[in-house]
Amino acid sequence: MSFLLFFYKNMKKSWLFLFVLAASIIISSYANTFNADWQLDDEPNILLNSKLHISELTFQQLNNSLRANPTAPESNKLYRPLPCLTFGLNWYFGQDNLVNYHIVNIAIHILTAWFLFLTLYLLLQIYYQKKQSPHFFITAALLSALFWALAPIQTQAVTYIVQRMASMAAMFTIIAIYAYLRGRTDKKYTWFILCLLSFFAALGSKENAILLPASLILIEFAFFNHQITKKQFLKLFFFCFIVLVGGFLFVRYGLGITPFNLSNPLTFLDSYRNRSFTFSERILTQPRIVLMYLSQILFPIAERLSIEYDVVLSTSLFVPWTTFPAILIILLLVSSSLFFLKKYPLICFPILFFFLNHAVESTILQLELIFEHRNYLPSFFLFLPIGVLIARILYATLQQSLFRRSATICCTVLFLIISGQATYTRNLAWATEGTLWADAIRKAPNSARAAHSLGKWHRQFGQYREAYYYFQLALKNADKAADPKMTKGAAFNGLASVAYMLDDYNQSLHYFNQCLEMNRKDEACLKNRILAYLQLSQPDKALSDALKLTKEYRNPLEYQYLTAMAACQSGKQDIALSRMQKVAGISLNNHQVMYLTGLLLLQHKVYPNSLFFLQQADKISPKTIEYQLSLATAYYLDKQTGKSEAILSDIFNKHPFPVITAALKEVSQYHLDSDPVSFFENRLYSMIQASNVLHENKSAEP
């Protein structure tokens, strides 16, 4: 550390040096995350969110990205617009290239840590009234910011791509706090304007930033002289009140989020009906969880972190017994911090800021019980007392013993190394879905979400026995999940998909039916049941589901295609053709779309157009026998028998007879004219006869 300070003293651009130093340390701890896989909510929020898939930097596409709510794709309201805009730009410059997304996330983390350093530097100058040396302020602030940035609990907000929403909200919050402090010390209103703009930018990233005005009031009373006039106090109160109301109106009308109804504030309790816990159980359980967060932050041990936890609900003050002590500890921490705030602000303020900024996500709202990324913002100042203590030992008096100073430097460097290593180790779990959920199921064996996610991962790689086991485990533990009904539906859908891939279509249909009993509007399950009906030769039922799907969910390609395929097999050709006309113009590179469109036109005896689409299908997928047989049919019906026989001869020379027979049976189910099918069968039989005669003649030769 003395070596670094030596360089710091001799650098002309010392602030740039400090920034590069901090950034280098942070990047080294996150160096193994640049190819970390997509996880959990990344898929619906980014990969499947078409509004974020910007192909051109036009106003319309950029504007659409600001409204990319994955749960309400038709909505025109803003949805966390700033993170969504950055996701859209990421997609424009590299689509689903993971490296680009992680670079942006780490850059946000670095900027947040830097503004935290600047804020801490200002706070310490205000508290000590600049009576300490600049080295003291820099050391205390820089170490506090680095301890925060290297805490392994922050990995969920940084490495988990979609949690850019949480990290951006925190980044704009700390920028707002910094701007406010500059405005208070420099007496320039431009800083207050920046503070206000940053506040709305934070709200536009994630709604938990709405507590910023309360945080500013806390800072005001902790670090500034409060022997102020009533007029000054009213000005401060009025400013914070206006900012808070403005923020609430932005969330309510700009973002379309209604956390509660002003005329009936308790309406949010209705949403607890879908949870596995009640309102009282959540209130009683959260103190234990928040204290666990504190221990995870202050003691950087990667093994104690997980994407999932087996949380034991608190059903009363004494069940489990740790409930009442946890509540008592928090009450004592908050009350004593309030009482001693003016006397010991460097200790009391971080505690109050931590609990204050957990008020949105860790109290009464019906959110899931636990997620580590919720600590990203609240933990900003927790390491401030530690940084100050180290700086006091190093710079407070010249009489400090060499041993004490050396021991402090060694312990500080060791703690930074331990934290960085713990972060690096924790990031190993985020490498793939398999590593993340295997880690989660090991630490939380009763987690239905961990089991379901691990089942999906095994299914993806064709490991169906393992996938079936984990889907069964998810179903077994579904009642303990945050949303039991949804979890059971997802588990049934997973079991059905495995049965489908193993060609057990009756068992697959059984599970799909159970899935839809849990939720009749389960989009994925409804879509998959259509495929099962088609495999079981029940096209009428498939068509009924497909029509329901296209009515309730607007997907111009896949669902219209499924409807056309079901209608085609059930003999309702007019429905099939009208649906395929909607699809064909958009999807000329999809061989299945081209094939089905060609068949439909063939059934309507529009032979030249049919030939075009079937030729396209055969061109895209030249090894598919069904496409070649259908093309031969089109040539035959268009009275181009020479080309038809040439295709049949090519098929016969390349494929065994059982494969050709199965393909012919597949083609015949689409109600094609029986004349060409009979012709194909006769021609193939003749080719077999000719082949047998040729074989016998060769055998008879001496």
Q: How confident is the model at residue 266 (pLDDT cuts 50, 70, 90)?
A: low
Q: How confident is the model at residue 635 (pLDDT cuts 50, 70, 90)?
A: confident
Position 245 scores a pLDDT of 65
- Contacts of residue 220, defined as CB under 8 A and 6 or more positions apart, other chains included, come to 184, 226, 236
Which of 525-534, 543-552, 657-666 is predicted least confidently?
657-666
Highest mean pLDDT among 99-108, 186-195, 267-276, 658-667: 99-108
Torsion angle, CA of 180/185/191/192, rounded to 10 degrees? Answer: 50
Asked whether the predicted pLDDT for residue 630 surpasses 90, the reply is no
Position 55 scores a pLDDT of 86
Residue 431 tokens, joined: 């490498």
Position 521 scores a pLDDT of 75
Give the burial class of 510: count Cβ atoms within 10 A of its Cβ; 0-12 exposed, 13-18 middle, 19 or more buried: middle
Distances (CA, A) of 284 to 163, 324, 466: 27, 8, 37
For the segment 116-131, the average pLDDT, to the nearest whole number, is: 91
Report DSSP state, residue 312. Answer: P
Report DSSP state, residue 660. Answer: H
Quick one: what percent of the chain has pLDDT higher than 90? 40
Q: How confident is the model at residue 236 (pLDDT cuts 50, 70, 90)?
A: low
Point out which residues pair with 264 in neighbouring strands.
Answer: 261
Position 254 scores a pLDDT of 55
Rounded CA-CA distance 441/401 in Å is 50
Residue 225 tokens, joined: 């002289």
Point out which residues pair with 469 in neighbouring strands.
Answer: none
DSSP 70-91: TT-TT--S--SHHHHHHHHHHH
316: phi then psi, degrees, rounded to nearest 5: -160, 180
Asked whether the predicted pLDDT for residue 523 surpasses 60, the reply is yes
Q: Alpha helix (H) ranges present in 129-229?
A: 134-150, 155-158, 164-186, 189-203, 212-223
Q: Alpha helix (H) ranges present in 371-504?
A: 384-395, 402-429, 433-443, 448-460, 464-476, 484-501
Position 676 scores a pLDDT of 59
For the segment 106-120, the average pLDDT, to the nearest whole number, is: 97
Position 264 scores a pLDDT of 53
Rounded CA-CA distance 379/151 in Å is 10
Cβ–Cβ < 8 Å for 554, 72: no
- Contacts of residue 362, defined as CB under 8 A and 6 or more positions apart, other chains included, come to 286, 289, 290, 374
Cβ–Cβ < 8 Å for 512, 542: no
Q: Exposure pattern of 238-276 as b/e (b: 16+ CB <10 Å)?
A: ebbeebbeebeebbeeebeeeeeeeeeeeebeeebeebb
In the chain, where does the domain assigned CATH 1.25.40.10 lie?
589-702
- Contacts of residue 646, defined as CB under 8 A and 6 or more positions apart, other chains included, come to none
Residue 395 tokens, joined: 């710079």
Q: How confident is the model at residue 562 (pLDDT cuts 50, 70, 90)?
A: confident
CB atoms within 10 A of CB 503: 9
Give the burial class of 643: count Cβ atoms within 10 A of its Cβ; 0-12 exposed, 13-18 middle, 19 or more buried: middle
**Choice between 27 and 687, residue whose per-residue pLDDT is larger:** 27
For the segment 374-379, the average pLDDT, to the nearest whole number, is: 96
Using omega within 30 degrees of 0 as the cis cutoff, is the peptide bond preceding 320 cis? yes
Position 641 scores a pLDDT of 77
Cβ–Cβ < 8 Å for 101, 124: no
Asked whether the predicted pLDDT for residue 228 surpasses 70, the reply is no
Rounded CA-CA distance 536/699 in Å is 45
DSSP 90-108: HHHHHTT-HHHHHHHHHHH
Q: How confident is the model at residue 294 (pLDDT cuts 50, 70, 90)?
A: very high
Of 16, 349, 340, the closest CA to residue 181 belongs to 349
Rounded CA-CA distance 402/423 in Å is 32
Contacts of 608-612 with C-beta under 8 Å, sequence gap 24+, read 608/638, 610/634, 611/635, 611/638
Report yes or no on whether pTM surpasses 0.85.
no
Cβ–Cβ < 8 Å for 314, 288: yes
DSSP 217-253: HHHHHHHS-----HHHHHHHHHHHHHHHHHHHHIIII
Asked whether the predicted pLDDT for residue 255 surpasses 50, the reply is yes
Q: Which CATH number fits domain 589-702: 3.80.30.20, 1.10.3720.10, 3.40.50.300, 1.25.40.10?
A: 1.25.40.10
Q: Mind listing the pLDDT tens digit for each residue in 126-143? A: 998 877 888 889 999 999
| Residue 187 Cα to chain centre, angstroms | 42
Q: 261: helix, coil or strand? A: strand
Position 4 scores a pLDDT of 46
Rounded CA-CA distance 198/86 in Å is 16
Longest CA span, the chain: 122
Which of 288-302, 528-542, 544-558 is predicted least confidently?
544-558
319: phi then psi, degrees, rounded to nearest 5: -130, 105
Of 302, 373, 370, the closest CA to residue 160 belongs to 373
Which of 311-320, 348-357, 519-528 is predicted least confidently?
519-528
Position 268 scores a pLDDT of 52
Of 352, 357, 338, 353, the closest CA to residue 211 belongs to 357
Q: Mind listing the pLDDT tens digit for each residue in 132-186? A: 888 889 999 999 999 999 999 999 999 999 999 999 999 999 999 999 999 988 8
Q: Mind listing the pLDDT tens digit for each residue in 484-506? A: 888 888 899 899 888 888 888 88
Q: How confident is the model at residue 2 (pLDDT cuts 50, 70, 90)?
A: very low
Asked whether the predicted pLDDT for residue 58 surpasses 60, the reply is yes
Rounded CA-CA distance 152/427 in Å is 8
Q: 295: helix, coil or strand? A: helix
**Choice between 365 and 315, residue whose per-residue pLDDT is larger:** 315
Position 698 scores a pLDDT of 47
Give, for 646, the enclosing helix (H) or strand (E): helix 641-654
Listed in order, strand segments (DSSP E) in 47-144 are: none
Which of 42-51, 81-90, 270-279 is predicted least confidently?
270-279
In the predicted model, what is the mean pLDDT of the chain? Answer: 83
Rounded CA-CA distance 390/408 in Å is 7
Q: 316: helix, coil or strand? A: strand
Rounded CA-CA distance 370/362 in Å is 8
CB atoms within 10 A of CB 524: 14
| Residue 235 Cα to chain centre, angstroms | 42
Q: Give the side-chain half-sphere CA count within 13 A for 526.
A: 20
Cβ–Cβ < 8 Å for 532, 509: yes
For the segment 80-109, the average pLDDT, to the nearest whole number, is: 94
Cβ–Cβ < 8 Å for 389, 298: no
Rounded CA-CA distance 148/300 in Å is 10
With left for phi above 0 and alpha for psi between -120 and 50, is residue 572 left, alpha or beta? Answer: beta
Asked whether the predicted pLDDT for residue 221 surpasses 90, the reply is no
Contacts of 471-480 with C-beta under 8 Å, sequence gap 24+, read 471/495, 471/498, 473/448, 474/448, 474/449, 475/448, 476/448, 477/446, 477/447, 477/448, 477/451, 478/448, 479/276, 480/276, 480/310, 480/446, 480/447, 480/448
Q: How confident is the model at residue 399 (pLDDT cuts 50, 70, 90)?
A: low
Position 702 scores a pLDDT of 46
Rounded CA-CA distance 319/327 in Å is 13
Rounded CA-CA distance 651/666 in Å is 15
Rounded CA-CA distance 297/373 in Å is 11
Rounded CA-CA distance 468/452 in Å is 10
